[in-house]
Amino acid sequence: MKGRGYKPQTKVVLDDLDEEEKERMVLGHSEKLSVAFGLTNTKNGETIRISKNLRQYEDCHYVTKFISKFTNKEILVRDVNRFHPFRDGVCSCGDYWKVQTIILSFLLEIILCTDGASNPTLIKQS
């Protein structure tokens, strides 16, 4: 997949690890395993349906769009908030999760600051 342009989205891995280890961490997420299982166990023209009880992770959303484009499969993922129908490399949610991620990141930056090390500390108010 990397040969076709896939780049693992590792920016949300907060552990202090090198990039290769972060990539390994995101490769085994359950949605990806479910999509792989669906690809090997469905016929041409059949939709892959996945249901999960958590919000869809950014890299899983990205890779599912990527896979739907190159396999010509419709992949329907139901997460805790919404349906994500993937077709031809596009999700009809309009990448709604990305807006939420940006807002959460912004709020965390306001609430937390870093002391120059990798340990976040609460901002002290006077």
Report pTM. Answer: 0.65
CA–CA separation, 7 vs 105, rounded Å?
A: 21
Residue whose C-alpha is closest to residue 54's, from 76, 80, 84, 81: 80
Of the two residues 87 and 31, the one the predictor is more confident about is 87
CA–CA separation, 22 vs 19, rounded Å?
A: 5
Per-residue pLDDT reduced to its tens digit, 11-35: 666 667 777 777 776 677 778 889 9
Question: Taking a C-beta distance cutoff of 8 angstroms, is the pair 74, 85 a contact?
Answer: yes
Which residues are bridge partners to 48 per DSSP? 75
Please report which helix (H) or strand (E) contains residue 84, including its range.
strand 83-87
